[in-house]
Amino acid sequence: MITTGDMRARVLVLTTFDDYVYGALRAGASGFLVKDMAMEDILTAIRVVAPSGAIIAPGVTHRLIAQFASQRRPGSESRDPPPSAPR
């Protein structure tokens, strides 16, 4: 991993495909962008990541949230009451 050791590099992935987001984040990337973003947004992302920030392209974030929300852990129950339960 490039982000281990005494010197901590800040990695911002810029790619054509958002399929690599999980691997990039697992490897220590601080940001993940797709190439169709506006140049100003890419420059803003660099400014966010450089001082220890993190950023993910909005379209990628939308997909990550949808995937996360659709996952259900085995044996876990929702904390929300069923629709018919009194509140």
Residue 84 maps to a domain: no
Q: Which domain holds residue 16?
A: 12-70
Q: Encode pLDDT of 20-78 as tens digits.
A: 999 999 999 999 999 999 999 999 999 999 999 999 999 999 999 998 899 987 766 65
pLDDT at 47: 96
CATH code at position 22: 3.40.50.2300
Residue 75 falls inside a structural domain = no
Domains in the chain, number = 1
Judged against a pLDDT cut of 60, whether residue 87 lies above it is answered with no
Q: Check residue 7 and give its pLDDT.
A: 63
Q: Is 66 part of any domain? A: yes
DSSP class per residue in 21-81: HHHHHHTT-SEEEETTS-HHHHHHHHHHHTTT--EE-HHHHHHHHHHHHH---TT---SSP
